[in-house]
């Protein structure tokens, strides 16, 4: 089997599309997206919660999909923007940056409607959508959607099966325990023949490996695997190979340790010095949470410096 070329390392930013209380408007989010686009970042991503229950300490339970020691950034009345709607607005404000979810709890959406909305967003943005998906950790969100939390893994697989069927087949048919349809037509299709790129979030376990092997362009490591990428990435590559998938073209998210100056701005040289070990481990998407000065010109200079340092780091690593 011929190997795919290793993807070019990219720089992405996680945008804060939520707030602990009503922020009085979201112009700060729009500004950040425009500046990242102008500064040359490759990708921006936003997160997802449809509803919040009151047992937010459940996020600290890795056995149900949370993260040990993790804490939710808002209380139950936090304001969380729906990610696909948000990316649709940001698509009209930007021209080249890719638009992603980190992550979308995809199983909460009806699969055919999700296939349609994501294909539409991909077409209208010029093929810039990346769909990062995961099962989530919160029982209440599945209950609100009338779904069984215990079935969330199979529900996610079902959702991706339907989406990729409708994205790829002109005359689509599908059969599963949950759903059956024949000879359906859904246009427009995403701009790529294989459909919207899907990034699978999770730890290295048999179900995530199978999901990534079947559906995934990229992997968003979670929990202990995200904390030890030099060990985790070779393990995931080996597991994919055993599952019959060539892992050479696999894209992987990695988050470097972030260093700040005393004024709170990003210490770019020190932060970029953390990137080469990630690249050596196989990370292809270096993901940062970045702030910027309030003045637009200074903010663009700051973000452009991050991009320039990143590109230089990648060149020196090659």
Q: Domains, the chain, ranges and CATH?
A: 10-317 (3.20.20.30)
Q: What span, in angstroms and rounded, lies between the C-alpha atoms of 210 and 226?
A: 18
- Contact assessment for residue 162 and residue 109, using Cβ atoms and an 8 Å cutoff: no
Q: What is the pLDDT of residues 75-111, one digit of tens each?
A: 999 999 999 999 999 999 999 999 999 999 999 999 9
Q: At which residue do the structure tokens 């990219």 appear?
A: 10
Residue 292 or residue 125, greater confidence: 125
Residue 241 pLDDT? 98
Give SS3 for 266. Answer: strand
Residue 3 pLDDT? 55
98-101 vs 172-175, strand pairing mode: unpaired
Q: How many CB atoms lie within 10 A of CB 206?
A: 9
Q: What is the pLDDT of residues 231-289, one digit of tens each?
A: 999 999 999 999 999 999 999 999 999 999 888 888 999 999 999 999 999 999 999 98
Q: What is the pLDDT of residues 10-38, one digit of tens each?
A: 999 999 999 999 999 999 999 999 999 99
Give SS3 for 173. Answer: strand
Residue 264 pLDDT? 81
Give SS3 for 192. Answer: coil
Q: What span, in angstroms and rounded, lies between the C-alpha atoms of 130 and 196?
A: 6
Q: Say whether pLDDT at 318 is over 60.
A: yes
180-184 vs 172-175, strand pairing mode: antiparallel
5-14, 99-108, 296-305: segment of lowest average pLDDT: 5-14
What's the half-sphere exposure (Cβ side, CA atoms, 13 Å) at 54?
0
Alpha-carbon distance values, 269 to 44, 65, 233, 317 (Å): 21, 34, 25, 15
Q: How many CB atoms lie within 10 A of CB 102?
A: 24
Angle at 252 between CA 274 and CA 68, to 5 degrees: 75
Residue 4 pLDDT? 59
Q: Say whether pLDDT at 6 is over 80.
A: no
Exposed, middle or buried, 274 (CB in 10 Å: 0-12/13-18/19+)?
Answer: middle
The model's confidence at residue 5, banded by pLDDT at 50, 70 and 90, is: low
Phi, psi angle pair for 308, to nearest 5°: -65, -45
- Contact assessment for residue 87 and residue 101, using Cβ atoms and an 8 Å cutoff: yes
65: alpha, beta or left? (left if phi > 0; alpha if psi -120 to 50): left
Query: Span 53-75, mean pLDDT?
Result: 92
For all residues of the chain together, what is the average pLDDT? 95
Residue 170 pLDDT? 97
Length of the chain: 318
Residue 1 pLDDT? 41
Residue 195 pLDDT? 98
Q: What span, in angstroms and rounded, lies between the C-alpha atoms of 258 and 264?
A: 11
Residue 73 pLDDT? 95
Closest by CA to 307, choosing from 257, 271, 263, is 271
Helices (H) and strands (E) in the chain, counts: 11, 12
> What is the share, in percent, of the chain residues with pLDDT greater than 70?
98
């Amino acid at each position: 089997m011929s190997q795919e070329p290793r993807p070019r390392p990219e720089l992405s930013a996680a945008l804060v599309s939520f707030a602990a209380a009503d922020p009085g408007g979201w112009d700060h989010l729009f500004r950040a997206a425009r500046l990242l686009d102008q500064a040359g970042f490759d990708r921006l991503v936003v997160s997802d919660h449809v509803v919040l229950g009151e047992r937010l300490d459940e996020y600290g339970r890795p056995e149900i999909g949370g993260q040990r020691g993790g804490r939710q950034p808002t209380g139950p009345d936090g304001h969380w923007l729906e990610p696909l709607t948000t990316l649709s607005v940001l698509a009209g404000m930007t021209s080249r940056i890719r638009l992603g979810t980190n992550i979308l709890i995809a199983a909460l959406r009806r699969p055919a409607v999700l296939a349609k909305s994501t294909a539409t967003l991909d077409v209208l943005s010029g093929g810039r959508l990346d769909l990062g998906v995961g099962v989530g950790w919160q029982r209440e969100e599945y209950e609100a959607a009338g779904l069984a939390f215990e079935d969330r893994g199979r529900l996610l697989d079902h959702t991706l099966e339907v989406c990729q069927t409708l994205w790829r087949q002109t005359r689509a048919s599908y059969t599963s325990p949950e759903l059956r349809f024949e000879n359906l037509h859904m246009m427009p299709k995403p701009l790529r023949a294989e459909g919207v790129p899907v990034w699978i979030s999770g730890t290295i376990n048999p179900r995530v490996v199978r999901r990534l092997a079947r559906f995934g362009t990229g992997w968003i490591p979670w929990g202990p695997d995200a904390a030890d990428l030099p060990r985790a990435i070779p393990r995931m590559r080996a597991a994919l190979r055993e599952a019959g998938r060539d892992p050479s073209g696999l894209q992987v998210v990695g988050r470097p340790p972030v260093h700040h100056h005393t004024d709170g701005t990003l210490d770019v040289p020190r932060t970029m010095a953390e990137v080469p070990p990630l690249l050596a481990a196989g990370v292809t998407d270096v993901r940062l949470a970045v702030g910027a000065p309030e003045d637009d010109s200074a903010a663009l200079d700051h973000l452009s410096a991050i991009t320039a340092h990143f590109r230089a780091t990648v060149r020196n690593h090659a």
